[in-house]
Chains A and B, each alone.
Chain A
Amino acid sequence: MSKRKLFLVSVSLLLITSFVLPAFAQDDVTLRWRTRPDNQAEIDVYTAASQSIDEAWDGVSLEYEPGGSETASYQDLLIAEIEAGTAPDVFWIPGTDVARFAEAGLILNLADLAATDAEFSVDDFYAGPMGFLQTPIEGQDTALWGLPRDVSAFAIYYNADLFDEAGLEYPDGEDWNWDRFLEAAEVIDGLGDEITGFGMNAWWANWGYFINAAGSSFFNEDYTACGLDNEATVAGLEAALAALEHGVAWGNDAEPPFLAGTVGMFINGRWATPGAIANAGFNWNVAPLPEGPAGPTNWLFWGAYVVNANTENPEQAWELVRRLTSADIQGQIASLGANIPSRQTEEAIELFLNTLPDSGVNNQAFVDGAAVGVTEAPLFSGDWPAIDQAYGTAINDVFNGALTPQEFADTICGDVAQYFEQ
């Protein structure tokens, strides 16, 4: 065969192959899904979870896309992709974003799909997040906006070495309340110039804990108005101010100095535990948040897997949400120790309690915190980003001394009234 003929035969074969190959391709449904992982370990475990679901699911192929971190504007990218029509079929969003995504029509109401699904039960999950996920928007009778991926709660991370040095009992027990907490902050603060007793970040959840523990609330009972115009708000803020008198200056990230061993107590969620295990070079542990005048309280943080309103495969996307929140997959992810499964079953809780066995971390503190936690609320009857900004600005003035707690309580609800639907 001459070179010319060989060339022509090769080209012909190539062209025929290019036409024939697609005919043999499997007619799979491909679903893309995305989470916001905090680190490579989480990316690895989500990738493995995706592969295990993919292998067990005929006719559907999964593509897992780890989204950027919180600081890399996970939601901004997602919104841009939704607008461009290139967003994944299923994605995770924080609990506080569910309302604005739902009201903007960006996510699918899964109520009808869930109603026909015999294997699905609302009661399997923490009631708080499910309550918000089932809130219908105008013109709807029923709703299900997604299923919670996991939950989390705050705890007090404490430096056991500093407690020992100060001669203090570790923060635990029935009398672990604000009096003991403030006393511990003051005593530890007195250990040296570079040591501070307490630290918390400027995120609303931190000062919000003090508000809740004093008996106040961000919103009224049905989440239709501000709930901060009362004396409990004043008491909560005064306690927070008292704690920060012996703490890391307001608004600064308290985690690095805690990990450097210069902070006695520090409020943060379960997500900070792996970092503390890896980086803290001293004896530390976690304890429940101290009990305030209104009794034990905490936050129940959560995020949900939701379905893109423009997905071409809503049934499969719903099925993926269910599979991603199954006990088995939640077990795989909980094994990292960064999150608590969103299924409130004994099996799931037991699974979480046995994570990070070598670290000696008091996992029970988080489970107890979640049990008494005020559920992080998506605001269906107001503009949460605007309210968040107004709260944040005013609270910044309080902690910087430009506004007293009483002035805050007197004015804040009037300031944000325009952001609630009348």
Chain B
Amino acid sequence: MQQAVLEKRPLLPRLPLIIPLMVIWHLVVIGASVYVASWLARMSITEFNERYSNIGPAVQDFMTLVLLLPAVLGAFSSVQGVRLHPSGRYAAVALNFVGMVLAAAYLMHLWGVYTGIDEFADGVVVNAGWLVGIAVAYALFWLAGRLDSESAAALWLERLGLGLAMLALMGLLWFAGAAEAAVSILETYAALETWLVTAALLIFGVVFVIMLYHGPTFGETTQQKNAWQGWLMLSPNIIGFALFFAGPLLLSFYLSFTNASVGQVPSFTGLENYGDILGLQVEVLADGQNPREVLWFGYGELTRLSIGDRTYLVGASDPLFWISLRNTLIFCLLLVPISTIPALLLAVILNSKIPGMTFFRAVYFLPSVAAVVGTSLIWRWLYDPTIGYFNYFISGGVDFLNSVGIGATDPEPAWLTTSGLALFSVVLLAAWQLTGFNTVIFLAGLQGIPRELYEAAYVDGAGRVRQFFSMTLPLLAPTAFFVIITTIITGLQVFNEIYTLFFVRPLPEHVTTSVYYLYNRGFFRFEFGYASSIAWLLFALIFTVTLVQFRLSRSSAYED
């Protein structure tokens, strides 16, 4: 009897129709994926470089592997899907969702949306007068809302408003060129490719939606349902991250091992770029000896160190890298205290219950949300030694001191051009921008400290100063850690302020920071491979600094 039951049991569970349909569709995807991947793999490197901006053979291999991913995912989801295993469904959902998004993005490219949207937007701006109609329609609706909702007048006003809004919208779209845009989109269907991509988009979309709602078929639990919903919510960011961040990141890592230059096919050079960037030479320099006599070819003098009665000459194969690194570290060392200590004090003040504090919180935060380029240009003006306000106020102060008999000389600082002052001027600007942000973070930390602790301390006789140093500061340690870390990272990546504040290109050495230097090597000297290596070294530095900070923070937390 038992044997009979086993014999009647089907090999596969009874499948809903969507599963075989999904398998058929995935077979098409696998076929397309393998076909495109093999087409790319067989493409000559010359043709590949011509098609894809001289990006090199390693990227060809990498792209081939990436193009095989849909085949792998399709095969896996088909096998597991037929077995009604949840992993098959998840793989199918992921494959079809990503396929749908990429097909939609590519279809928009074929439609010319990316290049035509500017023109359409210009058309909307030029014909923005039609928006008056929508404003009038809104006014009619507002008026209708003030009347008895059952009255004929209210109904009449609502209809009039609706009609007017529709008319204005249609007029705006018509005159902005919506009809021409629609025709130009239709014209793209003269090509078979557009039809294929549209069909792929629709099928990916339909399979995705159906598989999404077939959870019960695969024995989905509530926890699993919550999980995929979460992943779905995250998906725009994940796809964006993969395409626009992780992709370029990987590419730059690859380029850092090549001699990539604009318009040239990169050749693999191994660690040569890193060696050229980091190469150092230390030699003893005799009195009166010319440094070039002891430095290797291609090395320049970086600095001299006097230890005892000996002078050591430090040479570097790329002195400017070390100089830019030094400038960046000095920038950070100055930026951290200047942007965090005032921020902490401001946060303590703003945390009080003095009237108008909400207003001041917004005011202090404004520099953080203002565009860096705009504020930098304003600061460039403020720093102008002839017509700038900083020197105007300094001169006024000096005049005042002289008028009361204190002899003072006007220093007339040339903020942006004096070697010793220029970097500090950038720090001031950056600190001004960061202080508001840091203040808000400190404020959030302060508001997380329970009031009862202060009341207890007060009862125990602790004054304000004691409370601040013995309670507020230790309890703010995690917040302070976050603020310092983000400030250091911001400082190590400084570029916008430097780029905008100084209008002479290339910049003199004393204000060249690491990121500006890599930009300079990439865009001025066309050395994208070398610039990528600098970027990765900078990444290693930031990562190390952050790691050390984390370790220090944890060990101090344990001590507490």
Interface residues of A (CB under 8 A from B): 14-15, 17-19, 21-22, 71, 73, 75-76, 79, 82-85, 100, 104-106, 196, 201-203, 248-253, 256-257, 260, 262-263, 309, 383, 385-386, 388-389, 392-393, 396-397, 399-400, 402, 414-415, 418
The interface size bin for chain B is 35 or more
A-chain residues with CB within 8 Å of residue B263 when the two chains form the complex: 82-83, 104-106, 309
A-chain residues with CB within 8 Å of residue B261 when the two chains form the complex: 104
A-chain residues with CB within 8 Å of residue B510 when the two chains form the complex: 393, 396
Chain A CB within 8 A of B543 CB:
no
Among A17, A100, A249, A415, point to the contact of B414 (Cβ < 8 A): A249
Q: List 23 A-B contacts (CB under 8 A).
A: A15-B189, A21-B183, A21-B187, A22-B190, A79-B526, A83-B54, A83-B262, A84-B53, A106-B262, A196-B386, A201-B504, A202-B504, A251-B417, A252-B385, A252-B416, A253-B503, A257-B387, A383-B525, A386-B525, A389-B320, A392-B508, A393-B510, A396-B508
| Closest chain B CB from A379 CB (angstroms) | 12
A-chain residues with CB within 8 Å of residue B298 when the two chains form the complex: 418
Please measure, in the bound complex, the distance between the C-alpha atom of A85 and the C-alpha atom of B412, giving whole angstroms. 50
Please measure, in the bound complex, the distance between the C-alpha atom of A54 and the C-alpha atom of B515, giving whole angstroms. 43
B-chain residues with CB within 8 Å of residue A256 when the two chains form the complex: 381, 384, 386-387
User: Quick check: A262 and B387 within 8 Å, CB to CB?
Assistant: yes
- A-B residue pairs, 4 tightest by C-beta: A251-B417, A385-B524, A18-B186, A249-B414
User: Quick check: A249 and B53 within 8 Å, CB to CB?
Assistant: no
Chain A CB within 8 A of B236 CB:
no
Among B187, B385, B419, B523, point to the contact of A396 (Cβ < 8 A): B419
Please measure, in the bound complex, the distance between the C-alpha atom of A397 and the C-alpha atom of B508, giving whole angstroms. 9
Please measure, in the bound complex, the distance between the C-alpha atom of A250 and the C-alpha atom of B509, giving whole angstroms. 16
Interface residues of B (CB under 8 A from A): 53-54, 183, 186-187, 189-190, 261-264, 292, 298, 300, 320, 381, 384-387, 412, 414, 416-419, 503-504, 506-510, 512, 520, 523-526
Among A21, A22, A202, A257, point to the contact of B417 (Cβ < 8 A): A202
Please measure, in the bound complex, the distance between the C-alpha atom of A386 and the C-alpha atom of B386, giving whole angstroms. 31
Instruction: Return the chain B residue nearest A76 by Cβ.
Output: B523
User: Quick check: A252 and B504 within 8 Å, CB to CB?
Assistant: no
Main SS at interface, chain A: helix
User: Quick check: B386 and A250 within 8 Å, CB to CB?
Assistant: no
Please measure, in the bound complex, the distance between the C-alpha atom of A79 and the C-alpha atom of B523, giving whole angstroms. 7
Please measure, in the bound complex, the distance between the C-alpha atom of A396 and the C-alpha atom of B511, giving whole angstroms. 11
B-chain residues with CB within 8 Å of residue A22 when the two chains form the complex: 187, 190
Among A18, A100, A249, point to the contact of B386 (Cβ < 8 A): A249
Among A249, A388, A393, A402, point to the contact of B385 (Cβ < 8 A): A249
User: Quick check: A400 and B419 within 8 Å, CB to CB?
Assistant: yes
- Known contacts A82-B263, A105-B264, A257-B386; is-contact A18 B414 (Cβ 8 Å): no
B-chain residues with CB within 8 Å of residue A388 when the two chains form the complex: 506
User: Quick check: B292 and A414 within 8 Å, CB to CB?
Assistant: yes
A-chain residues with CB within 8 Å of residue B384 when the two chains form the complex: 252-253, 256-257
User: Quick check: B414 and A104 within 8 Å, CB to CB?
Assistant: no
User: Quick check: B525 and A402 within 8 Å, CB to CB?
Assistant: no
Among A100, A262, A263, A400, point to the contact of B418 (Cβ < 8 A): A400
A-chain residues with CB within 8 Å of residue B300 when the two chains form the complex: 415, 418
| Closest chain A CB from B524 CB (angstroms) | 4
- Known contacts A104-B262, A396-B419; is-contact A389 B504 (Cβ 8 Å): no
User: Quick check: A251 and B414 within 8 Å, CB to CB?
Assistant: yes
User: Quick check: A262 and B386 within 8 Å, CB to CB?
Assistant: yes
User: Quick check: B187 and A393 within 8 Å, CB to CB?
Assistant: no
Please measure, in the bound complex, the distance between the C-alpha atom of A347 and the C-alpha atom of B263, giving whole angstroms. 40
| Closest chain B CB from A275 CB (angstroms) | 15
A-chain residues with CB within 8 Å of residue B412 when the two chains form the complex: 249
A-chain residues with CB within 8 Å of residue B417 when the two chains form the complex: 202, 249-252, 396, 399-400
| Closest chain B CB from A364 CB (angstroms) | 30
Please measure, in the bound complex, the distance between the C-alpha atom of A260 and the C-alpha atom of B386, giving whole angstroms. 10
| Closest chain B CB from A185 CB (angstroms) | 15
Among A71, A263, A399, point to the contact of B503 (Cβ < 8 A): A71
Please measure, in the bound complex, the distance between the C-alpha atom of A20 and the C-alpha atom of B190, giving whole angstroms. 8
| Closest chain A CB from B320 CB (angstroms) | 8
| Closest chain B CB from A172 CB (angstroms) | 26
A-chain residues with CB within 8 Å of residue B262 when the two chains form the complex: 79, 82-83, 104, 106
Please measure, in the bound complex, the distance between the C-alpha atom of A15 and the C-alpha atom of B185, giving whole angstroms. 11
| Residue with the highest number of chain B CB atoms closer than 10 Å, among A83, A105, A196, A388 | A83
10 other contacts beyond A248-B385, A393-B509, with CB at 8 A cut-off?
A22-B187, A104-B264, A106-B263, A196-B386, A256-B381, A256-B384, A256-B386, A260-B387, A389-B520, A392-B508
A-chain residues with CB within 8 Å of residue B183 when the two chains form the complex: 21
| Closest chain A CB from B523 CB (angstroms) | 5
Please measure, in the bound complex, the distance between the C-alpha atom of A205 and the C-alpha atom of B510, giving whole angstroms. 21
Please measure, in the bound complex, the distance between the C-alpha atom of A387 and the C-alpha atom of B335, giving whole angstroms. 31
| Closest chain A CB from B299 CB (angstroms) | 9
User: Quick check: A19 and B419 within 8 Å, CB to CB?
Assistant: no
A-chain residues with CB within 8 Å of residue B504 when the two chains form the complex: 201-203, 251, 392
| Closest chain A CB from B380 CB (angstroms) | 8
| Closest chain B CB from A334 CB (angstroms) | 27
User: Quick check: A385 and B520 within 8 Å, CB to CB?
Assistant: yes
Please measure, in the bound complex, the distance between the C-alpha atom of A132 and the C-alpha atom of B187, giving whole angstroms. 47
A-chain residues with CB within 8 Å of residue B186 when the two chains form the complex: 14-15, 17-18
User: Quick check: A18 and B189 within 8 Å, CB to CB?
Assistant: yes
User: Quick check: A397 and B419 within 8 Å, CB to CB?
Assistant: yes
Please measure, in the bound complex, the distance between the C-alpha atom of A84 and the C-alpha atom of B412, giving whole angstroms. 47
User: Quick check: B523 and A392 within 8 Å, CB to CB?
Assistant: no
Instruction: Return the chain A residue nearest B52 by Cβ.
Output: A85
A-chain residues with CB within 8 Å of residue B387 when the two chains form the complex: 256-257, 260, 262
Please measure, in the bound complex, the distance between the C-alpha atom of A73 and the C-alpha atom of B353, giving whole angstroms. 48
- Known contacts A252-B414, A389-B506, A392-B504; is-contact A85 B53 (Cβ 8 Å): yes
User: Quick check: A393 and B508 within 8 Å, CB to CB?
Assistant: yes
A-chain residues with CB within 8 Å of residue B418 when the two chains form the complex: 400
Please measure, in the bound complex, the distance between the C-alpha atom of A71 and the C-alpha atom of B478, giving whole angstroms. 41
Please measure, in the bound complex, the distance between the C-alpha atom of A73 and the C-alpha atom of B520, giving whole angstroms. 12
User: Quick check: B523 and A75 within 8 Å, CB to CB?
Assistant: yes
Please measure, in the bound complex, the distance between the C-alpha atom of A75 and the C-alpha atom of B292, giving whole angstroms. 35
A-chain residues with CB within 8 Å of residue B507 when the two chains form the complex: 389, 392
Instruction: Return the chain A residue nearest B504 by Cβ.
Output: A202
B-chain residues with CB within 8 Å of residue A76 when the two chains form the complex: 523
B-chain residues with CB within 8 Å of residue A19 when the two chains form the complex: 189-190
Please measure, in the bound complex, the distance between the C-alpha atom of A216 and the C-alpha atom of B480, giving whole angstroms. 57
Please measure, in the bound complex, the distance between the C-alpha atom of A397 and the C-alpha atom of B419, giving whole angstroms. 7
Instruction: Return the chain B residue nearest A402 by Cβ.
Output: B419
Please measure, in the bound complex, the distance between the C-alpha atom of A385 and the C-alpha atom of B524, giving whole angstroms. 6
| Closest chain A CB from B310 CB (angstroms) | 24
- Known contacts A21-B187, A252-B414, A383-B525; is-contact A83 B53 (Cβ 8 Å): yes
Please measure, in the bound complex, the distance between the C-alpha atom of A201 and the C-alpha atom of B417, giving whole angstroms. 11
B-chain residues with CB within 8 Å of residue A257 when the two chains form the complex: 384, 386-387
A-chain residues with CB within 8 Å of residue B386 when the two chains form the complex: 196, 248-249, 252, 256-257, 262-263
B-chain residues with CB within 8 Å of residue A392 when the two chains form the complex: 504, 506-508
| Closest chain B CB from A122 CB (angstroms) | 27
User: Quick check: B509 and A389 within 8 Å, CB to CB?
Assistant: yes
Instruction: Return the chain B residue nearest A422 by Cβ.
Output: B297
B-chain residues with CB within 8 Å of residue A105 when the two chains form the complex: 263-264
Instruction: Return the chain B residue nearest A97 by Cβ.
Output: B524
| Closest chain B CB from A145 CB (angstroms) | 14
| Closest chain B CB from A393 CB (angstroms) | 4
| Closest chain B CB from A257 CB (angstroms) | 4
B-chain residues with CB within 8 Å of residue A399 when the two chains form the complex: 417
Please measure, in the bound complex, the distance between the C-alpha atom of A389 and the C-alpha atom of B521, giving whole angstroms. 11
A-chain residues with CB within 8 Å of residue B54 when the two chains form the complex: 83
| Closest chain A CB from B8 CB (angstroms) | 50
A-chain residues with CB within 8 Å of residue B292 when the two chains form the complex: 414
Please measure, in the bound complex, the distance between the C-alpha atom of A392 and the C-alpha atom of B520, giving whole angstroms. 14
